[in-house]
Structure 1
Amino acid sequence: MIITTAVAVLALTQGAQNIQSFVQPDLKDATFVARKVKADQRELRKINDSFGNSYRFDTTTIYFKEPFKVRLEASVEDTTVVYVLNGPIQTIKMRSFHQRLDLTGKPGRRQTPLDFGLLTPSLFEGLFQARFVRNDRATGDVVFDLTYPERLDDTSRHRIWIDPQKKYVTKREWYNQSGRQLATFIYENPKNEGGVWMPTRMTVKNVDNRVAGITTYDSIKTNTGLSDSMFQG
């Protein structure tokens, strides 16, 4: 009996230390609308010079599909901006402007489901490495450090807190390549959509612990079969 109990405890402990236990394999694609609630450009600039740009839009429609496909559409006045990331290839289009960049060597600039508090299997298939840190006694969350493989030559990292039952990121700390913390993201108010838990509110704080921006997510749809053609630049 003692041996059986010890084996069971060991299995649970090992499972808690494996990031694959906390991803959402059933999430194939999602569509939702991000709405700006608060944007303090002065505080956002303390994160980095360009971080506040995405907060200049009141609403942004977001599409993503596994693996590594993201599309953002936003309008300001009479101009529509379309951002597409397909694997490492980033395309930005607006009016007569069309920019195409290969971010293979700049993984920190790639937008992924992690930015929205979600973990999918593809994140850990060559992009991120996950190291178990601890079980957070205060929250019950599981804590991991996410880094890039050495071959990608990017030493920036994220520390994430994961709700082990609902399998979404509750908090994320972002550190630059010098090891300095840039921002903290808080993901709240999760909603179950099609069997997938997604946070519906994100608050970002800068290194001074000041709230720099707040965004809510609504009109959430999951696994609708988004076409690959949507993510062609």
Structure 2
Amino acid sequence: MTRSTRSRRAFLAGLAGSLFVPGFATGLARAQDSAQTAAEPAAEVDEAAVRAVVRADEIRFPRESFQTEILVKSSSDGQPGDERKFRVLSRGNENTIVMTLEPATDRGQALLLRGRDLWIFMPSVSQPVRLSLAQRLTGQVANGDLARANFAGDYSPRIVGRDTINGQPALVMDLTAVDRGVTYAKVKYWVNEKDGRPVKAEFYALSGRLLKTCRYEDFREMAGRVRPTRLVMEDALKKGDVSVLTYDSMAVRDLPERMFTREYLRKLE
């Protein structure tokens, strides 16, 4: 075991102990171990970046199992387009169900995520179909944007600079995917340096091409903490194509693991 490896594992163990969050600790350990395997020579962990990403993740969503409803309105050149509503049931950032509530014609469709394995269930199809996290769900929203918003578990971060956004100091971080199974190959992430809130993000393809941007807005108290309740996603390739995600409600719920199976999903209404 190299000195770098020992340093990495010691840091992760200490961070996990201070957070008391098994899901986050597991995600961070996997992210850092994967980054260690992929990089030669091994790079030291950017401890400040890891802490900032974990903190922002906790602000975006509860540590506990939770339920939220999301309205997604898409538009092109200012003209209204697709409008959809989803119910998301999440357990520990590893297991998620995304149920389509509207439009009525698609009601009954559901996504099931276990780890990074994703399936779609449709009433008209007898067997679930395997999907990619990167595939488009609606408008500018990918499957992974709703099903797995776990930056701490999916990316290896490092601080690359500082910026001022809306008069507030922000850390600027590069997030590199730990493997090709995550939603985006790279994310550039701005986080408020004072309160840890996410400010904006840029999402990139493996080729380095900018795909879209996201702004985190309208911070309000939901599920016991002040969180962003409005996300604005803009297509970087086709100007004027925008999707706005509004979180209508969010509540901590006891969601047993048995719910997150292909067999149990058929019982959900």
What letter corresponds to residue 214 of structure 2 in structure 1?
F
What letter corresponds to residue 215 of structure 1 in structure 2?
L
1:39 equivalenced with 2:87 (yes/no): no
Equivalent residues, number: 198
- Deviation (angstroms), 1:203: 1.0
- 1:83-232, aligned counterparts within 5 Å? 83-97=111-125, 98-101=127-130, 108=134, 115=145, 123-125=151-153, 127-138=154-165, 139-149=168-178, 156-207=185-236, 209-221=239-251, 223-232=252-261
Distance 1:62 1:154 in 2: 17
Distance 1:163 1:65, change over 3 A: farther
- Deviation (angstroms), 1:57: 4.6
Report the 3-state secondary structure (helix = DSSP H, G, I; strand = E; otherwise coil) of the residue aligned with 2:63: coil
What letter corresponds to residue 49 of structure 2 in structure 1?
N
- Structure 1: state its 5+ residue gaps: 1-13, 44-54
Distance 2:240 2:180 in 1: 35
Aligned to 2:50: 19
Distance 1:153 1:38 in 2: 24
Distance 1:71 1:56, change over 3 A: farther
Larger RCO (alpha carbons 8 Å, 6+ apart): 1
Distance 1:194 1:31 in 2: 9
Give the structure with the higher percent helix.
2
What letter corresponds to residue 50 of structure 2 in structure 1?
I
Distance 1:153 1:214 in 2: 22
Q: TM-score, normalization: structure 2?
A: 0.61
Q: What's the % identity of the aligned pairs?
A: 19
Report the 3-state secondary structure (helix = DSSP H, G, I; strand = E; otherwise coil) of the residue aligned with 1:39: strand
Distance 1:195 1:65, change over 3 A: same
Distance 1:63 1:178, change over 3 A: same
Deviation readout 1:116-154 (Å, 9 max, x if unpaired): 6x976xx434x3111111221343122211112368699
Deviation readout 1:161-218 (Å, 9 max, x if unpaired): 1134443322110111111101111110112234433211111112255352222111
Distance 1:154 1:73 in 2: 19
Distance 1:151 1:185, change over 3 A: closer
Aligned to 1:8: none
